Amino acid sequence: MSMVKLYDTTLRDGTQAEDISFLVEDKLRIAHRLDELGIHYIEGGWPGSNPKDVSFFKDIKKERLEQAKIAAFGSTRRAKVTPDKDQNIRTLVQAEPDAITIFGKTWDFHVREALRISLDENLELIFDSLAYLKKHAPEVFYDAEHFFDGYKANPDYAIKTLQAAQDANVDCIILCDTNGGTMPHEVASIIDDVKKHISTPLGIHTHNDSECAVANSLMAVHHGIVQVQGTINGFGERCGNANLCSILPALKLKLKHDCISDDQLKRLRELSRFVYELANFSPPKHQPYVGNAAFAHKGGVHVSAIQRHPETYEHLRPELVGNSTRVLISDLSGRSNILAKAEEFNINLDSKDPVTLDILDNIKDMENRGYQFEGAEASFELLMKRALGTHRKFFSVAGFRVIDEKRHEDQKPISEATIMVKVGGKVEHTAAEGTGPVNALDNALRKALEKFYPKLRDVKLLDYKVRVLPAGQGTASAIRVLIESGDKESRWGTVGVSANIIDASYQALIDSVEYKLHKSEDSTTSRS
């Protein structure tokens, strides 16, 4: 079995996606992470197209990579210009990458309508450009643009373009599904035919417009290609490129291609989230392999089964890709969910303990009223502690008041919150302003408690979501508030439900603060 090489184009093709742009520094940081993952080739960009990519190729030379080779991307020479005089070709050579990839036209329709040259002239463009680059670069790859569409329109000519690349002695010819419309069965039969005419190693580059990019890439490997191109998280133009976060584990764990090590594969989820962070995107929780929900279980039957045999509802062990099993708590939950969740929080529950059934009944009643614990695991842990009698009351709130005032038509409203808390025998009465009523209440609560519990200064409110529950009562409908908080070590979610948005927010805020105090106490106890 030939070694399949991984070719990442996140830094070039991935940046062509809508709303994605990386600074040179971002690209350097991502390159290091790709190298650590075991990617063989990292396409850094098109040095002839913009100053940012020129800077990347200059700066990456100063970096030390463990194994990855840096590839530069460009196109064949222009018509009527020799390769040594073509600015695009010269810029590729001047970038001094480890490998150079250029694309050329395969589809006769594109040759006539886009390049407006004869079919024979296009063959000369391909051969001349690649033959010249082979003299000036360690490795040269040829991207046969629109290959599958070109083959379907005119198979004889599409094969001739590949033969021109083969005659130039390129190291790999990559078959591109540029428009992303090819089906997996077509990829299989076309590759089989190509191999009858071409002996040069083949690669695959697919787009996801028909949501077949990953399937097409894996089908291509099954039919003998040796280089797979794609991007982290499937970033790319239009609907994106083939997603390496899905291709990699499938190659290694399902098709048994030893393309990266076990330890490298465990970094997959971490890398996925790192790239989302630099792109300023929220990671989609339902993304296969690496998403938060990829190994999340909600139904009680599922949870009971995976506790005995994980393979009953998990296609692989999540730890292999750096993920983990999550048990969700909802009105679908059975006793096994409660026990699994308790174990996750190091809380001892017995399946026959009446407390377990009490918690289950309480959860179902609360969810009936609009509570949701899937994104509020901190509130759920506090609920369990209260039921077990292990919940410590660090403070109590005697009352609060929130005032919103708009003093002038052209000015923003002013929010002020007043709160009275009791800690031990001491009462603290505090007021604070905020950018809105919830922010003002949060500020007042923190201000009142921080003198007693200085660790609360570490807590940041990271996300705040409001959902109007479908009660059909208009502005009198119940409100669910989900709050995500965090400190230097972790993040946690809390929930509140009420017909009053301030009261719902207050419940979630109180849980957030209490969870932090319990967490700090638990960590202190474990250290001592």
Q: Domain ranges in the chain?
A: 5-279, 296-368, 371-385+459-528, 395-452
Superfamily of domain 5-279: Aldolase class I (3.20.20.70)
Question: Is 78 exposed, middle or buried (CB count within 10 Å of its CB: 0-12, 13-18, 19+)?
Answer: middle
- Out of 3.30.750.24, 3.30.365.10, 3.40.1350.10, 3.30.160.340, the CATH code matching 371-385+459-528 is 3.30.160.340
Sheet holding 479-486, edge to edge: 460-468, 479-486, 491-498
How far, in Å, CA of 128 to CA of 104, rounded? 11
Q: 188 is written with which tokens?
A: 């299989």
Say what the pTM is.
0.71
Instruction: Please answer whether residues 217 and 204 qualify as being in contact, where contact means their C-beta atoms are separated by less than 8 angstroms.
Output: yes
Class of 395-452 per CATH? alpha beta
Sign, CA torsion 176/67/129/50: positive
Which residue positions in the chain have pLDDT lower than 70? 1-2, 298-313, 326-352, 374-375, 470-477, 522-528
Q: Residue 61 has what pLDDT?
A: 95
Q: Residue 339 has what pLDDT?
A: 65
> Comparing C-alpha atoms, which of 190, 182, 135 is closest to residue 158?
190
Instruction: Please answer whether residues 202 and 225 qualify as being in contact, where contact means their C-beta atoms are separated by less than 8 angstroms.
Output: yes
20: three-class secondary structure by DSSP: coil
Q: Residue 205 has what pLDDT?
A: 98
- Do the domains spanning 5-279 and 395-452 agree at the CATH topology level? no
CB burial string 14-38: b at 16+ within 10 A, e below? bbebeebebebebbbbbbbbbbbbb
Q: Residue 48 has what pLDDT?
A: 76
Neighbours of 345 (CB within 10 A): 14
Q: 407 is written with which tokens?
A: 């003093």
Q: Residue 468 has what pLDDT?
A: 83
φ/ψ of 235, rounded to 5, equals: -55, 145
